[in-house]
A and B are shown apart, each in its own frame.
Chain A
Amino acid sequence: QVQLVESGGGLVKPGGSLRLSCAASGFTFSDYYMSWIRQAPGKGLEWISYISNSGSSIDYADSVKGRFTISRDNAANSLYLQINSLRAEDTAVYYCAKSILVTTNFGVANNFDYWGQGTLVTVSS
């Protein structure tokens, strides 16, 4: 069965950095896009980044562009998110998600079919 396990969250001061990891199992990791999605306390979901199966295509939400870097190691079945210059508004649970992103004649089909349990990042002095 598909499993995604995030790690690396914690308490960090404003301006600090963290590296989040997501260990994947139960599917052929190198065949799929992967994404990071976050949820601030009591708030909704916010997509922040995706990476293609080969790593050649990457995109970020404007809110994190230039500060966050997504990467993957297909040999290790792992996804990463390097987060720098942290701000209080980055406080959230960060989820990794197995992603479907397909362009068809009828539009883009984008969904997140499996999610990890999340890792909490708290930015506070």
Chain B
Amino acid sequence: QSVLTQPPSVSAAPGQKVTISCSGSSSNIGNNYVSWYQQLPGTAPKLLIYENNKRPSGIPDRFSGSKSGTSATLGITGLQTGDEADYYCGTWDTTLSAVFGGGTKLTVL
């Protein structure tokens, strides 16, 4: 099991909004920043969100991140078929160093 808990899958229709949750503890999310990664099929992961809610250059503002307590959320609005991918949250853990969630598969119906 992963230290960070994500739903295995989420789905929504094109144009709609979806959120992906990431649940941790005070040892990780509760006291450190969260990042999010998008992994399109057959490719390497790409950084989507860092420091809870910041977007790297080139990432559209359809992607957003937030954190509250020991949980974080990735939001994607205006869903496109090209957003179909696996999404991972990541953070620092006091004991385990860098940790990731188990990943969430997004299906755009």
Tally of chain B residues near chain A (CB < 8 A): 26
In order of increasing CB-CB distance, the 4 nearest A-B pairs are A47-B98, A108-B92, A111-B35, A107-B32
Cross-chain contact of B99 among A47, A50, A101, A114 (Cβ < 8 A)? A47
The size bracket of the interface on A is 20 to 34
Excluding A45-B37, A47-B90, A109-B92, 16 further A-B contacts by CB distance (< 8 Å) are A45-B45, A47-B99, A50-B98, A61-B97, A101-B92, A107-B31, A108-B33, A109-B32, A111-B47, A111-B50, A111-B90, A112-B45, A113-B50, A116-B44, A117-B43, A117-B44
| Nearest CB in chain A to that of B4: its residue | A44
Q: Which residues of A contact B37 (CB under 8 A)?
A: 45, 112
Main secondary structure of the interface of A (DSSP, over half): strand
Binds A, one of B13-21, B68-76, B77-85, B100-108: B100-108
Q: A50-B98, A61-B97 are in contact. Are A115 and B46 (CB under 8 A)?
A: yes
